[in-house]
Amino acid sequence: MSEKECYEYFKSIRWSDNKGSPICPSCGSASSRYFIESRLQYRCKDCFHTFSVTSETIFHSHNLDFKVILLAIVIFSNATKGISALQLSRDLDVQYKTAWVLSHKIRESLMERNLDEKLSGVVEMDGVYVGNYIKPANNIKDRIDRRKAFKPNKRVIISLRERNLLGSGAGKTKTFILRSENNVDIKAIAKSHIAPNSEIHTDENSAYDDLLAHYDLKRVNHQIEYSGLNGENNNQSESFNARFRRLQYG
């Protein structure tokens, strides 16, 4: 795609509810405006506000080619195990700083969506511990008991995944960071992010016990099986967490 085609494409996404035709972000007028071609800006004929296709988006005030913006979104979305700013800077052929800001902008927009509606139907929940690795010392007498060591960066990532009712896999996913899997925090997360009367699948960790009072709770005992006799499983959550772990190693 040429830069012009990328610009047109960005426009079609930005103003998708108006068939790609500009809407003034100040007064909402969609009827008339001037196009200032040299600056790729529009001036609203109703309120004389000047705006561009990136106004009020996460890409405003960035002086990037639309080709770079579109490519960044594609590469970022396609990297299921996450992508580092260093790699993105090589792929896009931009400075590290530019790639870093771009990827954070995209993450920020994901977080905004994350706060939207509650998950419902069949929801899986599981935690994965990160930041608890201690590099073993070379000399055996310097090694510490890693079970007892204090790990200040240790956190658990809780993932909530709403199962696709048609087909397989998961639709929406929400993630949270806790210091540990515990009843109080788990209950608070479920209350604000899972609709009442949903079916929740977890493993047998007692931190999920309290959910039984408010939800249809299904448990799977991973010591003996991946999936219970009646389809109890949190495999979607586990697969997400496995990818999260690869992301962390990467």
Does 24 contact Zn ion by CB under 5 A? yes
In the complex, minimum distance from the CB of residue 28 to Zn ion, in angstroms, rounded to a whole number? 7
Residue 47 is a binding residue for Zn ion (CB under 5 A): yes
Comparison of 27 and 86: residue with beta carbon closer to Zn ion: 27
44 binds Zn ion (CB under 5 A): yes
**What pairs with residue 158 in β-bridges?**
127, 176
At CB < 8 A and 24+ separation, what contacts does 70-73 make?
Answer: 70/1, 70/6, 70/9, 70/10, 72/99, 72/102, 72/103, 72/106, 73/106
Query: Residue 224 gets which letter from DSSP?
Result: T
Residue with smaller CB distance to Zn ion, 33 or 172: 33
The yes or no reply on residue 211 touching Zn ion (CB under 5 A) is no
Alpha-carbon distance of 196 to 81, in angstroms, equals: 31
46 scored as a contact of Zn ion (CB under 5 A): yes
Among 6, 9, 26, 82, binds Zn ion (CB under 5 A): 26
Q: Min. distance of Cβ 34 from Zn ion in angstroms?
A: 12
202: nearest Cα among 188, 222, 218: 218
Q: How far apart are CA 189 and CA 160, in angstroms?
A: 9
C-beta of 14 vs 201, nearer to Zn ion: 14
User: Is residue 43 part of the contact set for Zn ion (CB under 5 A)?
Assistant: no
**Please, which residue, 12 or 29, has the CB nearer to Zn ion?**
29
How far is residue 172's CA from residue 159's CA, in Å, rounded to a whole number? Answer: 10
Q: Is 49 in the site for Zn ion (CB under 5 A)?
A: yes
Nearer to Zn ion, 28 or 121 (CB): 28
Residue of 4, 5, 18, 27 interacting with Zn ion (CB under 5 A): 27
What's phi and psi for 160, nearest 5 deg?
Answer: -115, 125
Site for Zn ion, rule CB under 5 A: 24, 26-27, 29, 44, 46-47, 49
